[in-house]
Chains A and B, each alone.
Chain A
Amino acid sequence: MMLYENFDKNEIYILSMLIIAYGAFFLFPKKLPRDVTSMFLVWGFAYSTFFDFTIGGGLLDFYKVNDSNKYELFDLLTYFPFATFSYFFIYFYERLKIDKKKFLFYVIGWTIIGLVMERISIWMEVIHYQNGYKQYYSLIVFLVVQTVTGLYYELIKRQHKY
């Protein structure tokens, strides 16, 4: 594993994202129980890792993260902002009091945010599509992940009783 191949705009973008994402995480008032917060931070990290190493690498190898197909330390850092994205998905789910009527619009809203963020990541050369991957494939990933995240949170809330 290497630290990075070249320190340029993709590494600067990742570091900026880390500062913004974790800055917001620590600044926003805490609304969720500590165990649920921890779980959803790990949730975001896990799903981004899962998709990157399953469709982004291996047999399909649909995209390259950062400067090379080798595992860089900055590849690992790329997953840390996703931890906060998943947390904020739940955080605003709670703050905006998302119910059955709003759920569909909430997921679509976050899917648009996800697609825009992915486009920025392409401009910043964090993600490089290969082997025929198109951005609209990501729509499927975002819709599935965010719907499952919302439904799983509902399940946890029912068991947690808070």
Chain B
Amino acid sequence: MAIAVFFFASWLVCVAFAVMQKKLSLVENTFVYLIILIVSINFLWIIIEEFKLITLTKNGVDYTAYILNRSVIIPMLIIMQLNLIQKSNSVAKSAVIVIATVAIMLGLSVLSTQFNITTNIKWNFGYDVIYFLTLHLIGYYVFKTFRKIAYREVKNT
């Protein structure tokens, strides 16, 4: 069941992203996606494998659902909200977008525990919220820095 749910969620975010009106270029979207992927993989590895704050399923099919959440759903949601934020013209609207994406990520974390993909040992959903908000911040500043550096024009002296 878990694999069907997470595969559907992965498919949904990919298709939604493909059809949405984008404010970031392909290169910008890819760059932010990859940075979030790197951060997400490293962070989850450290808290799961090194600090054992969460335990992970030993079932191969359920493990695939975890990989989909870590490597597809979370980075895709970050770039989707980034595109939506760039389109929104008010702080309130941006805040609603961030709250909505954090809520979706949190919902998937709850589902992960319900399906026994993950078991929180010394971890709780509050930490998840902090982690997801941090990913949003990283995504935003990576994008801003990338735009500043990548498209900086060489000044003539």
Contact = CB atoms under 8 A, between A and B. Distances in A.
Interface in B107-157: 146, 149-152
Contact of A49 (B26, B30, B42): B42
B12 interface: no
Nearest to B31: A39
A59 B48 CA distance: 12
B146 A38 contact: yes
B31 A38 contact: yes
Mostly helix, strand, loop or mixed at chain A's interface?
helix
Nearest to A152: B30
Interface in A105-162: 152, 155-156, 159-160
Nearest to B62: A59
Interface of A: 1, 33-36, 38-39, 42-43, 45-46, 49-50, 53-54, 57-59, 70-71, 76, 152, 155-156, 159-160
24 contacts: A1-B46, A33-B150, A35-B25, A35-B31, A35-B151, A38-B31, A38-B150, A39-B31, A39-B34, A43-B30, A43-B34, A46-B35, A49-B37, A53-B41, A57-B45, A57-B49, A58-B49, A58-B56, A59-B60, A71-B46, A76-B42, A155-B26, A156-B27, A156-B30
